[in-house]
Amino acid sequence: MGVSAEKTRSPNSVLAVTTISHMMQHIFVGMSILFPFIMYDLKLSYTEFGIAIAASSLIGGAFQIIFSIASRRVARHILLGLGNLLLAAGTFLTGIAQNFLHFLWRL
């Protein structure tokens, strides 16, 4: 009788992947040191940049609530992977923004 792939995963490997994934999210947040360069390149005022960051935080908070509710029915490792893919896509789209409207739209 075969053993399913779910049962052969080492708890340490699952912990490592989860820890690295979570660490990458914190590194993303820690990149705030780059804010002055972002503001300069996109010619943003403090108000515009603050609005963009506030919108990003509100959207991120809403996704956390949605993912929290979804975790009751969907496996958490799937939600974690989906969340990381969404974060990567958002980061990429924000990186190609050329002005404030692009930047705000891509959040």
Each domain of the chain, given as residue ranges in start order, spans: 33-106
pLDDT less than 50: residues of the chain:
1-2
Give pLDDT tens digits for 35-51: 888 888 878 889 988 88
Q: How many CB atoms lie within 10 A of CB 103?
A: 24
The answer to whether the pTM exceeds 0.75 is: no
Closest of 67, 68, 50 to residue 107, by C-alpha: 50
d(CA 62, CA 32): 21
